[in-house]
Structure 1
Amino acid sequence: MDEKDIKHIQLLNRLFQQILKEIDIGVHVVNHEGKTLIYNKKMAEMEEMNFSDVLDKDLLDVFTFHKNEDSTLLKALTKGDKTINAKQTYFNNKGQEITTINNTFPIIEDGVCIGAMEIARDVTKLEKLIRENMNKKGDTRYTFDSIIGSSEQIQELIEASKRATRTSSSVLIIGDTGTGKELFAQSIHNGSSRSSKPFISQNCAALPDSLIEGLIFGTKKGAFTGSIERPGLFEQAEGGTLLLDEINSLNPSLQAKLLRVLQERTVRRIGDTNDRKIDVRIIATINEDPIDAISQGRLRKDLYYRLSVVSLFIPPLRDRKSDIRELVHFFIEKYNHLFGMHVQGIAEDVQNIFEQYDWPGNIRELEHVIEGAMNLIVHEERINYLHLPIQFRNKPQIKSDEPKFIEHFIDLNSQFKPLEQYIEEAERHYLQKVLNHHDHNITQAAKSLGMSRQNLQYRMKKYQINRKIRLK
């Protein structure tokens, strides 16, 4: 072998190592003795292991399987079995459960099996979510572990909510629309001794008074035309929890009837003369300041005192902006799974915009913005400014340099352009601006834009951007 051949082999080896490092799937190769020869970065991330813990180690000395024959790698090695899209659950050396979808092949040379290789995709988080949802009884799926946020306000609220799980006292959850009131209500139910019993939720603003009364308290056959014998929500929630959402939407007479049920712990169906004992915990929510609701006649004072044995105030997103980054990551992961995408995060300028915005729709609005942006992504790795929904970009609350950028394309004294043309011109201008900033270094420009070199080059070709042109 001459020097040219050696250099060629060395080059191929470097390329091979780089490919193993960058690909977004796990690769694990063992020799004929079951010792690891190749173990790439993605596989180490999936299994939360260090390379030194795995390389040149026997597979069964590092990982634990329910049965040794459950290892797809060992099946390939000892039996020559080839498996495609096989789900495997096992444990790493820390005892953490890992679930992967594997393609596994024996490595055959001259008719002899000299090793086995596995290509794996991580579904650990997805499996955990599915398992949690399957194990939940009733209509609940949220626990305190589902609450995202590390800010002092949200952590204090979680601790107060956990203390409320120890009793059956009524709880009033106060917070703007979209802050996650039902999430806290379900978490309290699931953390309490009532978790095995029903959790019933009803939005009091969703139905007219004539229907909501029968739904909550139940009806007796013949009480009115067409009425049937039907238990109400209190009876359906026996032993568990009843969540009454937007309690301030009930009219005063229904609020008075509700107060009686809470005080007497009995319920009487419409048209009936008998009271039925109930054992139900009440959690109510309100989307405005209770004092304002009382003063303006939307909430009875005596009902407020009865419900607010435990009062929980959920802060709006504008008051806990330090949680935005964590929430964004959670929603991106959620829609990556739903859409089969691999978005890595958001660009720093988008993060700045998010932190300057007041979020009148709170967490629900943030989730919708992320979902909308991911619908606009083609090949990019990160959400950037141009992926934000157009109505969000035009919000006057956003304080950034972009309004000046927008004015560049809008002449209020002339006819407006078609939206598609405007967006293309805006994107072309923005790409050229970023290229200028990086002295036309495509790699650096692509990185700051959160997209691949190939994607940036494609857009440059699409918009006929000349690398020599510079915008002032």
Structure 2
Amino acid sequence: MTHRADYKLLFESMLTHLKQGIIIVDTNANVVYYNEPVTQIGGIGSKEAIGKNILEIFPNLTPQTSTFYRVLKTGKPLIDYVQTYTNFVGNQVTTLTSTLPLLKGNKIIGAFELYRDVATVKQLSDRIVSLQKELFNKASDREAQNGNKASYTFNDLIYKSDVMQRLIIKAKKAANSSSPILVYGETGTGKELLVQAIHNSNPLRKKKPFIAQNCAALPKTLLEGILFGTTEGSFTGAKDRKGLFELANGGTLFLDEINSMDTELQAKLLRALQDGVIRRIGGAKTVTVDVRVIASTNIRPAEAVKKKLMRQDLYYRLNVISLNIPPLRERKEDIIPLVEYFISFYNTKLGRNVKGISAEVTDMFLNYSWPGNVRELRSAIESAMNFTEDDIIRKKDIPFKESGVFRQEDRDPFISKQGDYLPPLNDAVANFEKNLILEAINKTGGNYSEAARLLKTPRQTLHNKIKKYGISTKSDDINTIS
């Protein structure tokens, strides 16, 4: 065979087994080459398709809606275009297509299209539209309320320790700036509360929107549209919608767990930070925005960069101001003030009249490592106040056996002192093991492979024990700083 024939055979063999199809048309949009992928998107064979006009194969398309007709008319490519249509056998399909003109010199001699079935992309597109409508409506509500959604100020933060006092002094100075901020704190340390306080302390931005978005909550396809907005026609169902950058214009955009953001999207975020302009998905024009971006990570930023979870250039741009919220175990002086606050809060919410915690529980709390930080402390107080029959929270009220809140080693001092509680050995060992795993997961920012290495145990063994104990690292955000 000739080299040309070899390449043709190789090309056709590859296309036969791929989930991606290719169509080539002439200047009249008549098919001259057709390769149907294994997923049978078009519903027609190659021999039958040759010679047919593209509108015969996809009968509900028109010259106005066909990507081929548009590219043949404009000479401009359409990349990653999502469209839904009826195929040759009458089935509705959704495809992601890239259609490009074929040029000989400056003359268009045809067009070709690569396409694949992406029903899931259609679902994501619908979610983008739905979320954008929700955000747009919320933004309208915020504008009616002077654009301020941030509820907390520095006066709402509960602390007594010197390390927190130094942090708050630094944060108050940062509040007067417009520079980006990178906040680091373990899960449950109340990062958003600190960020809200910073926003509300800025005399200009506090009158403008505060918008928070958890980057781990949405896949890249959704998050890009939510952040930067969309242009009508950029995908099926898309409308001209503002993204979070435009909605937060003049105010603050808080990007939580930015280490979970796709690195390609981080590059687009970096450009927005550097230039102060954004471009909507599918849009051609840029939009100038004035937004202060504050981002946070739940693992150390340097570690995120090292593990390639955060682009180094984005890290340098965000880390102009760095704030580190210490874990609760490193500032035990804050535990009792927080306990008093939570008791007061839940007295009102639950209609109780609890006055405090016993000396025994105080010692227990002060000797516990609190891997879940203030969020865990809050949950412990809320649980105890639902079940205590006294006006003082005692050791028996603390959720120990059921949820494994406290590690056995943290209770040992009370076993030896009081002698009133000695759990079965199997329960004690299981509880200790569960909490040790929880602490390892917390220390590694939810990275199970790193947690397994820290515990010096095979990853599969760790996975089995996580499943055995029903461990979950997902929790609702807390409304108090830690």
TM, length-normalised to structure 2: 0.56
- SS state at 2:205 partner: coil
Q: 2: CA distance between counterparts of 1:166 and 1:345?
A: 38
2:159 equivalent to 1:149: yes
2:334 equivalent to 1:329: no
Structure 2 match to 1:371: 382
Q: 2: CA distance between counterparts of 1:259 and 1:226?
A: 28
Query: CA 1:147–1:394 in 2, change beyond 3 Å: closer, same or farther?
Result: closer
Task: Give per-residue Cα distances to partners, 1:19-73, cap 9 Å, x unaligned.
Answer: xxxxxxxxxxxxxxxxxxxxxxxxxxxxxxxxxxxxxxxxxxxxxxxxxxxxxxx
Structure 2 match to 1:341: 352
Q: 2: CA distance between counterparts of 1:222 and 1:243?
A: 29
Q: 1: CA distance between counterparts of 2:378 and 2:279?
A: 41
Aligned residues: 279
| CA drift at 1:188 | 0.3
Contact 2:167 2:323 in 1 (8 A): yes
Task: Give per-residue Cα distances to partners, 1:90-128, cap 9 Å, x unaligned.
Answer: xxxxxxxxxxxxxxxxxxxxxxxxxxxxxxxxxxxxxxx
| CA drift at 1:399 | 3.8
| CA drift at 1:145 | 0.4
Q: 1: CA distance between counterparts of 2:399 and 2:298?
A: 26
Task: Give per-residue Cα distances to partners, 1:124-155, cap 9 Å, x unaligned.
Answer: xxxxxxxxxx9985321100001101100000
| CA drift at 1:342 | 1.0
Q: 1: CA distance between counterparts of 2:406 and 2:324?
A: 31
The letter of the residue matching 1:382 is: I
Structure 1 match to 2:121: none
Structure 2 match to 1:170: 180
- SS state at 2:408 partner: coil
Q: 2: CA distance between counterparts of 1:409 and 1:320?
A: 30
Contact 1:353 1:400 in 2 (8 A): no
What does residue range 169-188 of structure 1 map to in structure 2 within 5 Å? 169-188=179-198
The letter of the residue matching 1:253 is: E
Query: CA 1:310–1:397 in 2, change beyond 3 Å: closer, same or farther?
Result: farther
Q: 1: CA distance between counterparts of 2:409 and 2:243?
A: 45
Task: Give per-residue Cα distances to partners, 1:266-323, cap 9 Å, x unaligned.
Answer: 0100000100000000010100111111011100010001001110000000000111
Query: CA 1:135–1:401 in 2, change beyond 3 Å: closer, same or farther?
Result: farther
TM, length-normalised to structure 1: 0.57
Contact 2:183 2:322 in 1 (8 A): yes
Contact 2:399 2:405 in 1 (8 A): yes
Structure 2 match to 1:386: 396
Q: Which has the higher contact order (CA 8 A, sep 6+)?
A: 2
- SS state at 2:211 partner: strand
- SS state at 1:274 partner: coil
Q: 2: CA distance between counterparts of 1:214 and 1:356?
A: 46
What does residue range 61-72 of structure 1 map to in structure 2 within 5 Å? none
What does residue range 220-369 of structure 1 map to in structure 2 within 5 Å? 220-369=231-380
- SS state at 1:253 partner: helix
Query: CA 1:313–1:202 in 2, change beyond 3 Å: closer, same or farther?
Result: same
Q: 1: CA distance between counterparts of 2:145 and 2:225?
A: 31
Instruction: Determine which of 396, 407, 429 is the counterpart of 1:395.
Output: 407
Q: 2: CA distance between counterparts of 1:393 and 1:286?
A: 25
Task: Give per-residue Cα distances to partners, 1:404-438, cap 9 Å, x unaligned.
Answer: 6577463769xxxxxxxxxxxxxxxxxxxxxxxxx
Q: 1: CA distance between counterparts of 2:197 and 2:167?
A: 12
Q: 1: CA distance between counterparts of 2:230 and 2:322?
A: 32
2:447 equivalent to 1:410: no
Contact 1:172 1:285 in 2 (8 A): yes
Task: Give per-residue Cα distances to partners, 1:252-277, cap 9 Å, x unaligned.
Answer: 10000000000110010000010000
List structure 1 segments (4+ residues) > 6 angstroms apart after TM superposition: none
Instruction: Determine which of 138, 146, 149 is the counterpart of 2:148.
Output: 138
Q: 2: CA distance between counterparts of 1:228 and 1:325?
A: 51
Instruction: Determine which of 204, 215, 219 is the counterpart of 1:204.
Output: 215
- SS state at 1:176 partner: coil
Query: CA 1:384–1:273 in 2, change beyond 3 Å: closer, same or farther?
Result: same
Query: CA 1:225–1:396 in 2, change beyond 3 Å: closer, same or farther?
Result: same
- SS state at 2:361 partner: helix
- SS state at 1:161 partner: helix
Q: 2: CA distance between counterparts of 1:353 and 1:266?
A: 52
Query: CA 1:346–1:318 in 2, change beyond 3 Å: closer, same or farther?
Result: same
Query: CA 1:256–1:339 in 2, change beyond 3 Å: closer, same or farther?
Result: same
Q: 1: CA distance between counterparts of 2:368 and 2:383?
A: 17
Structure 2 match to 1:121: none
- SS state at 1:341 partner: coil
Instruction: Determine which of 173, 176, 199 is the counterpart of 1:189.
Output: 199
Contact 2:185 2:299 in 1 (8 A): yes
Query: CA 1:384–1:392 in 2, change beyond 3 Å: closer, same or farther?
Result: farther
User: How large is the Cα RMSD of the aligned pairs?
Assistant: 2.0
